[in-house]
């Protein structure tokens, strides 16, 4: 396992690389070219420049999150061929630069969805939270404006204003795309990029839908163990893998996270490890990483990843906003650093107990 932090690039992130370098045990960043719209190819010189910047700070690029997928590919419209070709060109350039893990999602219109971006916790920290009642009572355009207004001036990943200015048209374009069609379009895309991935040894890691059920009537297809396995079988090759995101799959209490992890050896290419506190089905908020602060047994989650021999990048995913930090919601430095350190501690304990036994006092 390699511990990493997500970093949006020096123009977009409040956290500089040198601070990330000082978190013990963090060896790399997961980054992206945040200003390139979904569908456009990534130029080689931009990839080389960001790689050089990260390496000059004593870190590595451990993976990309995300190379976003153009809606035409998800919808399966005739112009998808152009966007698939662009995607292949981007993968070819990433491969040339030695970058081997690519996270992406296949959620229509919206990426992850939260109804509050700064909900206070009893300890005075603030966190991202979700309440299904709010989503049921609001239209998507208003929802987008509300999310945007609460983001401290940062553009949230997957919530680009240029794209979401056309929410109504986007919804229209997805008419007729049900979950079977969306799945078919995903398989079509994966088969098309398989050769370039295999040429460079690139591992594609699909991010689960967040939350793990349909929102605003849009289909969601990566929500549980069954449909993860359906996808692994549909394109049954090692390049086709998963971002095991506990905070996304864990939005549904029906998902047994350690069991899902244990069922996917060799197919988890990237891990997002964090905790949620559940209040009732469809009502939850993001807690501190520590098991006792939320609903998940983080030891069992990390142990399952250890036991299947997970050796890819991991990140503490989101953190609470603490100590007066001002940052993109979920992506401050302080709580993610605490999370990384805690997970590294669990990992070391599990590793040592496994190798030399833990039972004797
Ligand atoms: C939110 C993230 C998602 C994720 C994408 C992957 O914080 O987990 O935006 O990066 O779904 O493509």
Task: List pLDDT tens digits, range 25-58.
Answer: 999 999 999 999 999 999 999 999 999 999 999 9
83 as an active site residue: the answer is no
Name the CA dihedral angle for 337, 160, 80, 62, rounded to a multiple of 10 degrees: -20
Instruction: Take atom 9 of ligand 1 and give the residue whose Cα is closest.
Output: 157
- Contact 112 CB / ligand 1 (< 6 Å): yes
Instruction: Take atom 12 of ligand 1 and give the residue whose Cα is closest.
Output: 104
- Contact 8 CB / ligand 1 (< 6 Å): no
Print the domain residue range for 270: 2-356
- Contact 319 CB / ligand 1 (< 6 Å): no
Q: How far is the CA of 206 from the centre of ligand 1 (A)?
A: 10
pLDDT at residue 168 in the model: 84
pLDDT at residue 205 in the model: 98
Is position 41 within any domain?
yes
Question: What span, in angstroms and rounded, lies between the C-alpha atoms of 249 and 153?
Answer: 28
Residues 88-110 have a mean pLDDT of 97
Query: Which residue intervals of the chain are DSSP H helices?
Result: 17-21, 44-56, 71-75, 80-96, 132-136, 140-149, 161-164, 167-173, 179-200, 225-234, 246-249, 257-262, 298-307, 334-356
Cis check: omega of the bond before 66, within 30 degrees of 0: yes
- pLDDT band (50, 70, 90) for residue 165: confident
CATH number at residue 245: 3.20.20.150
Is position 181 within any domain?
yes
Q: Hey, which of 5, 32, 111 would you mutate to test ligand 1's pocket, going by the most ligand atoms within 8 Å of its Cβ?
A: 111
209 as an active site residue: the answer is no
Is position 180 within any domain?
yes
- Contact 117 CB / ligand 1 (< 6 Å): no
* Nearest Cα residue to 228 out of 191, 274, 259: 259
Is position 340 within any domain?
yes
Atom of ligand 1 nearest to the CA of 158: 9
Left if phi > 0, otherwise alpha if psi is -120 to 50, otherwise beta: which for 107? Answer: beta
Is position 344 within any domain?
yes
pLDDT in tens, 103-123: 999 999 888 899 999 999 999
- Contact 330 CB / ligand 1 (< 6 Å): yes
Residues 282-299 have a mean pLDDT of 98
Is position 281 within any domain?
yes
Q: Hey, which of 36, 158, 186, 335 would you mutate to test ligand 1's pocket, going by the most ligand atoms within 8 Å of its Cβ?
A: 158
Q: How far is the CA of 318 from the centre of ligand 1 (A)?
A: 10
Q: Which residue is catalytic, options 207, 210, 293, 335?
A: 207
Atom of ligand 1 nearest to the CA of 210: 11
70 as an active site residue: the answer is no
Per the prediction, the chain carries an average pLDDT of: 95
pLDDT higher than 60, residue 24: yes
Q: Hey, which of 210, 249, 313, 316 would you mutate to test ligand 1's pocket, going by the most ligand atoms within 8 Å of its Cβ?
A: 210
Residues 152-171 have a mean pLDDT of 82
Q: Which residue is catalytic, options 71, 131, 197, 272?
A: 272
pLDDT at residue 152 in the model: 81
Beta-carbon count within 10 A of 354 CB: 12
- Contact 103 CB / ligand 1 (< 6 Å): yes
What is the value of pTM for the model shown? 0.96
Question: What span, in angstroms and rounded, lies between the C-alpha atoms of 249 and 220?
Answer: 12
Q: What percent of the chain has pLDDT over 90?
A: 86
Helix 80-96 and helix 179-200, axial crossing angle in degrees, nearest 10: 30
pLDDT higher than 70, residue 266: yes
- Contact 209 CB / ligand 1 (< 6 Å): no
Is position 361 within any domain?
no
- Contact 329 CB / ligand 1 (< 6 Å): no
- pLDDT band (50, 70, 90) for residue 148: confident
Count structural domains, the chain: 1
Residues 2-26 have a mean pLDDT of 98
Token duo for residue 349: 């304990």
* Nearest Cα residue to 128 out of 334, 317, 323, 272: 317
Token duo for residue 235: 């394109």
Residue 349: C-alpha distances to residues 250, 274, 344, 352, 358 (Å): 24, 18, 9, 5, 9
Question: What span, in angstroms and rounded, lies between the C-alpha atoms of 344 and 316?
Answer: 10
Between 357 and 201, name the one with better pLDDT. Answer: 201
pLDDT higher than 70, residue 360: no
pLDDT higher than 70, residue 361: no
Q: Which residues contact 235 (CB under 8 A, 6 or more apart)?
A: 187, 190, 191, 194
Residues 19-25 have a mean pLDDT of 98
Name the CA dihedral angle for 229, 87, 13, 248, rounded to a multiple of 10 degrees: -10
Q: How far is the CA of 223 from the centre of ligand 1 (A)?
A: 14
pLDDT at residue 147 in the model: 84
* Nearest Cα residue to 56 out of 85, 17, 6: 17
């Amino acid at each position: 396992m390699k511990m990493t932090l997500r970093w949006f690039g020096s123009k977009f992130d409040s956290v500089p690389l040198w601070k990330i370098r000082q978190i013990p045990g963090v060896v790399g960043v997961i980054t992206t070219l945040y200003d390139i719209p979904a569908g456009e190819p990534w130029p080689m010189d931009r990839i080389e420049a960001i790689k050089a910047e990260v390496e000059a700070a004593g870190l590595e690029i451990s993976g990309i999150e995300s190379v976003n997928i153009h809606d035409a590919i998800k919808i399966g419209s005739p112009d998808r061929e152009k966007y698939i070709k662009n995607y292949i060109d981007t993968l070819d350039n990433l491969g040339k630069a030695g970058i081997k893990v690519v996270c992406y999602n296949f959620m229509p219109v919206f990426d992850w969805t939260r109804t509050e971006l700064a909900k206070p916790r009893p300890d005075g920290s603030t966190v991202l939270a979700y309440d299904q009642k709010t989503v049921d009572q609001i239209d998507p355009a208003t929802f987008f404006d509300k999310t945007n207004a609460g983001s401290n001036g940062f553009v949230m990943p997957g919530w680009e204003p240029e794209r979401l200015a056309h929410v109504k048209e986007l919804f229209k374009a997805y008419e007729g795309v049900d979950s079977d069609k969306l799945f078919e379009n995903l398989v079509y895309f994966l088969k098309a990029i398989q050769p370039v991935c295999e040429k460079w040894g690139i591992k594609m890691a699909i991010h689960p839908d967040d939350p793990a059920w349909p929102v605003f009537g849009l289909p969601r297809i990566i929500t549980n163990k069954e449909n993860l396995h359906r996808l692994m079988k549909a394109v049954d090759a090692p390049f086709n893998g998963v971002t095991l995101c506990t905070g996304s799959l864990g939005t549904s209490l029906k998902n047994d996270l350690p069991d899902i992890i244990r069922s996917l050896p060799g197919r988890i290419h990237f891990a997002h490890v964090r905790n949620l506190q559940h209040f009732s089905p469809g009502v939850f908020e993001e807690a501190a990483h520590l098991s006792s602060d939320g609903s998940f047994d983080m030891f069992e989650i990390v142990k399952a990843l250890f036991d299947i021999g997970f050796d890819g990048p991991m990140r503490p995913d989101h953190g609470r906003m603490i100590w007066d930090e001002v940052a993109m919601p979920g992506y401050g430095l302080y709580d993610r650093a605490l999370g990384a350190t805690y997970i590294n501690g669990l990992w070391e304990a599990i590793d040592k107990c496994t190798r030399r036994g833990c039972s004797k006092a």
